[in-house]
Structure 1
Amino acid sequence: MMIKAIIFDFDGVILDSERIMYLVMQKMFNKYRVELPLSVWSQAIGTQHGFDSIGYLAKESGATINRNEFKEERDQLFNKLVDQEEVLPGVKSVIKQAVERDLKIGLATSSRGEWPRKHLKRLGLTDYFLSIKSWDDVQKVKPAPDLYLKTLESLDIEPREAIAIEDSFNGSLAAKRAGMFCIVVPNAVTKQMPFGHVDGCFKSLKDVNLDKLINYFTPEEKKFGVGV
């Protein structure tokens, strides 16, 4: 089969929101003199309900925490910072290459729908995406394959005709469970995750040449190792 589509994750791939959220959560935890190790926080990355951060904080601090107040303060800090962020390096290059090759472009994210749409519009990227599937469109988010299967269906392509671009273990596992090719671009908060199951790992999307990448995914489905 020929590659006909590129499907992006959003947080950590298009926008550096995961690093910012971790920094915000560290700041929130520090108020209670509790550390938030990356190994613990990583349970929340690329999915929903993977980690009860407030429950963890209450247990570690012994404090009673008002969830609504905590979330309101967290979101205010987070949005103030993330609204200043530009698109991550290499994203526009990959989109441009995909457009030049008449590839369909989709987005599959575990976030709520308004979140990626707001920032894609702010970044001037909305018009490139033929399909945007989010938390609102499925019963189970990543690492379940549902988001990718929905995206593939909306683009009218088969799993082996698409390459997913992910940054997290949960996201990449969802893509592979959907039967797709998947490359990962780990960031500061996902680089310690295991990615032995994916089809390639890049330091930055700036390093991605779609012609070379697609050539790896021939009908013989030759794979290339992590660390290319």
Structure 2
Amino acid sequence: MTAPRALFLDFDGLICDTEDAARRSWSLLYASLGLAFPHALWRRMQGRSDGEQLALADLGRRLGRAVDPDTRARRLRTKTDLCRAEPLRPGVARLLENARLRGIPALVVSSSPRDWVEPHLVRLGVRRCFADLVTGDLVERHKPAPDLYLRALRHVGLPAEEVCAFEDSPTGVRAARAAGVACVAVPSAAGDAAALTEAVRVLPSLADFSFDRRRLPDPMPDPMPDPMKGSLPR
């Protein structure tokens, strides 16, 4: 692809590391019950809206009983508190400012609902940097299905090859690829760079992305996406 004419950014784990906050909330809950939170389970949960259900099912099996509502609510409160303490990830502000100076619109493309994403963007001082938010409450199928990206493409009125997406999880990368959008991956603190091989490039930070690169590798053809939904809550 040539230099992008629009940028699509995931939210959780990319703009703000709510992914790591979610992981820590589960680790703390498991530890309070005398258990270790399995890394393999977290890898399955990343980028999926049914992640909480996966963890609750695993925890219930280990405890030999269903997780009670008070325990679930306690974990969600911990996650909320941890997320509120998370700053912008490195390079986000610079990327958005460089896009603004070049007249390149940026959109959030997230499976999470708007009422989760927008308050955090306001808190972090970057809501004004985004032309629009394309969030999970607008579509029936979430990542890795391409629906959110296809909707974002319709919004900007550009072909997929003129847009660059940024994601932190394999689920998000697959969604972008399924829509024909080249995707640069930046793993979150709780992520795994080795699992992001489907991205056209894996960077340690958004600060490492350069608009001066005239081309990114074209995205590889993608198989039919898994219709399984993705992103929050976890």
TM-score, scaled to structure 1:
0.89
The offset of 1:64, in angstroms, is: 3.2
- Is the contact made by 1:33 and 1:61 (CA closer than 8 Å) also made in structure 2? no
Residues 179, 63 of structure 1: CA spacing in aligned structure 2 closer, same or farther, 3 A cutoff? same
| Aligned residue in 2 for 1:127 | 128
Question: Aligned with 1:99: secondary structure?
Answer: helix
Q: Partner of 1:23 in structure 2?
A: 24
Other-structure match for 2:13: 12
Distance 1:91 1:160, change over 3 A: same
Whole-angstrom CA distance in 1 between matches of 2:113 and 2:71: 19
The worse-fitting range, judged by mean Cα deviation, of 117-126 and 203-212 is 203-212
Mark the runs of 5 or more structure 2 residues left unpaired by the alignment.
220-234
Alignment partner, residue 147 of structure 2: 146
> What secondary structure sits across from 1:164 in the alignment?
strand
After superposition, where does 1:184-223 map in structure 2 within 5 Å? Answer: 184-191=185-192, 193-212=194-213, 215-217=214-216
Q: In structure 2, the residue corresponding to 1:133 is in which secondary structure?
A: strand
**Aligned 8 A contact 2:200 2:218 in 1:** no
Corresponding residue for residue 91 of structure 2 = 90
After TM superposition, where is structure 1 displaced by more than 4 Å over at least 4 residues in a row?
A: none
Q: Is 2:56 the counterpart of 1:54?
A: yes
In structure 2, the CA distance between the partners of 1:137 and 1:98, relative to structure 1 (3 Å rule), is: same
> Residues 222 and 143 of structure 1: is their aligned pair in 2 closer, same or farther, counting only changes over 3 Å?
closer
Kept after mapping to 1: 8 A contact 2:182/2:218: no
1:192 Cα offset (Å): 5.0
The DSSP-based 3-state class of the residue aligned with 2:192 is: coil
How far residue 27 of structure 1 moved from its aligned partner, in angstroms, is: 0.8
Q: How much does 1:183 deviate?
A: 0.3
Q: What displacement does 1:140 show?
A: 0.7
| Percentage of matched positions with identical amino acids | 28
Once the two structures are TM-superposed, the CA of residue 95 in structure 1 deviates from its matched residue by 0.4
Which residue of structure 2 lines up, in the alignment, with residue 77 of structure 1? 78
Task: Give the structure, 1 or 2, with the largest relative contact order (CA under 8 Å, sep 6 or more).
Answer: 2
Greater alpha carbon shift after TM alignment, 192-201 vs 154-163: 192-201
Aligned length: 217
Deviation string, structure 1 residues 67-111 (Cα, Å, up to 9, x no partner): x32331112111112212211110001001111111111111111
**Please, which moves more after superposition, 24-33 or 10-19?**
24-33
For the residue of structure 1 that corresponds to 2:195, the secondary structure is: coil
The alignment yields a C-alpha RMSD, in angstroms, of 1.7
1:13/1:167 contact within 8 Å kept: yes
Which residue pairs with 2:228 in the alignment?
Answer: none
What amino acid is aligned across from residue 61 of structure 1 in structure 2? L
CA–CA distance in structure 2, aligned partners of residues 26 and 78 of structure 1: 11
Per the normalisation by structure 2, the TM-score is: 0.87
Aligned to 2:227: none
Amino acid in the other structure paired with 1:76: R
Q: Which residue of 2 aligns with 1:226?
A: none
Unaligned stretches of 5+ in structure 1?
224-228
Following the alignment from structure 1 to structure 2, what is the Cα–Cα distance between the partners of residues 118 and 29?
Answer: 28
Aligned to 2:118: 117
